[in-house]
Amino acid sequence: MKYAVMGTATVGRAIAGRLDGLGHEVTMGTRDPGATRSRATPDAYGNPPWSAWSAAHPGVALATFAEAAGAAEVLVNATSGTASVAVFSELPASTVEGKTVIDIANPLDFSRGMPPTLDPVDTDSLGEQLQRAMPAARVVKTLNTMSAHLMVAPTTLAGDHTVFVSGDDAAAKGAVTALLVEFGWSAASIVDVGDITTARGTEMLLPLWLRLWGAFGNADFNFHIQR
Ligand code: NAP
């Protein structure tokens, strides 16, 4: 399968690296490929410069957001939540039409410091905003409620834990569920919450996730739904 992973930071690299390892064709999207390639210092999260990551993942291509989307069958949103709607709204319609868009982003607003707030919240979600911005695409919200390393290697955390799936299109959710199984999630750990409006609920787990992160001092944890 041909994937466009939109975003070059922690999540984009985790997803792109895993997809590449599974044998998929991966192009990562970024604002300015030349600028991304020439960054010489670690990013704000301590990730090594792109050149170092790219050298370890020679099979992963880098392109503009539009070029990456145009070449792909499935798109992954791993951009900053405050930028996601603009990034996807600016794509030519032909690059997203009929395609599944896996939305991992959270609409965290850091403008008033830590902890960040959510915008939108309660009556809307980033997942819904993206679906409205791309009515001909099939947005599936998933993986946004855990740290990037667990998204693609869930068995590194002992015990049962949960990944949520939200979206309007049953076939797209089925394809994303199959990808989650490829990543290592068991069928029992994948919870279909419902249509894309249910992304409000999973995005609104972030205030709790962030406080748990503070309490535990690390990101080696996840939510688990017991029924
Ligand atoms: P991030 O810093 O939130 O996002 C980085 C990406 O956003 C970069 O590719 C950057 O583009 C793009 N970007 C930033 N500002 C932009 C702007 N104004 N216009 C266009 N693009 C812009 O990195 P992240 O930590 O990997 O998170 C990605 C998403 O996943 C976020 O929405 C986050 O909330 C969510 N998430 C993160 C984690 C985690 O463990 N980090 C876990 C769950 C969910 P360039 O490539 O051009 O720099």
Running DSSP on this structure, what letter comes out for residue 146?
A: S
Residue-level pLDDT at 110: 94
Residue-level pLDDT at 50: 93
How far, in Å, from the CA of 118 to the mean position of ligand 1?
15
Model confidence at 192: pLDDT above 90: yes
How far, in Å, from the CA of 225 to the mean position of ligand 1?
27
Which pLDDT tens digit goes with each residue over 44-91? Answer: 889 999 999 999 999 999 999 999 999 999 999 999 999 999 999 999
CA distance 171 to 205: 26
Model confidence at 115: pLDDT above 90: yes
Which pLDDT tens digit goes with each residue over 11-37? Answer: 999 999 999 999 999 999 999 999 999
How far, in Å, from the CA of 104 to the mean position of ligand 1?
10
Residue-level pLDDT at 164: 99
CA distance 78 to 201: 19
Question: Which residue from 18, 79, 111 has its CB within 8 A of the most atoms of ligand 1, so it is best to mutate?
Answer: 79
Residue-level pLDDT at 40: 87
Over range 86-109, report the average pLDDT: 98
How far, in Å, from the CA of 111 to the mean position of ligand 1?
15
Output the six-digit token pair for 61: 């291509």
Sign of CA dihedral 130, 135, 136, 138: positive
Average model confidence (pLDDT) across the chain: 97
Which pLDDT tens digit goes with each residue over 122-166? Answer: 999 999 999 999 999 999 999 999 999 999 999 999 999 999 999
CA distances for 226 relative to 78, 152, 220, angstroms: 28, 22, 19
Work out whether strand 163-167 and strand 138-142 pair parallel, antiparallel, or are unpaired: antiparallel
> Which residue minimizes the CA distance to atom 9 of ligand 1?
7
Residue-level pLDDT at 44: 86
CA distance 31 to 51: 16
Helices (H), 138-205: 148-151, 170-183, 199-203
> Which residue minimizes the CA distance to atom 1 of ligand 1?
80
